[in-house]
Amino acid sequence: MMKKRVMILPDDEGNPETRNINFIINDGTSPIRSATVTIGEKTGTTGSQGGCTLQNVTDGENTVIITADGYKTKTETITVDETHTSFTISLEADIPTKTVSIIVQDNDSAQYINGATVTVDNKYTGVTGTGDSQGSDTDGLLVLDLPIKEEYLFNITATGYREYNNTERIVDDFCAIYLDRE
């Protein structure tokens, strides 16, 4: 059986080809419902599975803008042609944050502990007293930008100390945590 090859060309008036373009909008894992997807004058809204279709999108580079409540607006350039008619785009949550100072100290001596690995809510991580982009040059201190909420789950490990796992409240953007020696 011989397959026919079809070539899509501009119409007789020189207008570029257009296509229906499918989008899936998610947060990296879950679909986002009611996101607005816009290319030029064409706009669609995602359903419960995060999908929508924009009709008659012109071939070539197009700028797509995606907005959704609770997420940062995303602008992305896509290339539309006969092989590129479906796109999956992830949005980042727009969560208000606050800068929090975390001090880790020895429970017996109150000395600052440098090199302690601090993980908050299984997501935000840094090392005390390292001076890197997550930390500070001050002994025992780590500064993190955390989502604003009442309680945070802390996991802290440091050589010579028992692992710390506990939920803490942060008052006035400051938290001191004391570790017990092994």
- For the domain that residue 53 is a member of, what is the CATH number? 2.60.40.10
Digitized pLDDT (tens) for each residue of the chain, 182 residues in all? 455 444 445 545 567 899 999 999 999 989 999 999 999 999 999 999 999 999 999 999 999 999 999 899 999 999 999 999 999 999 998 988 899 999 999 999 999 999 999 999 998 999 988 755 444 457 889 999 898 888 999 999 999 999 999 999 888 899 999 999 99
Clarify whether residues 105 and 48 are in a common domain.
no
The domain of 74 spans: 18-90
Of 90, 106, 128, the domain-final residue: 90
Tell me, what's the pLDDT at 66? 98
107 phi/psi in degrees, rounded to 5: -65, -30
Whether 6 is in a domain gets the answer no
CA dist., res. 74 & res. 161, Å (int): 43
Clarify whether residues 129 and 151 are in a common domain.
yes
State the pTM of this model.
Answer: 0.55
Clarify whether residues 66 and 82 are in a common domain.
yes
Whether 7 is in a domain gets the answer no
Which 8-state DSSP code applies to residue 71? B
Whether 4 is in a domain gets the answer no
Number of domains in the chain: 2
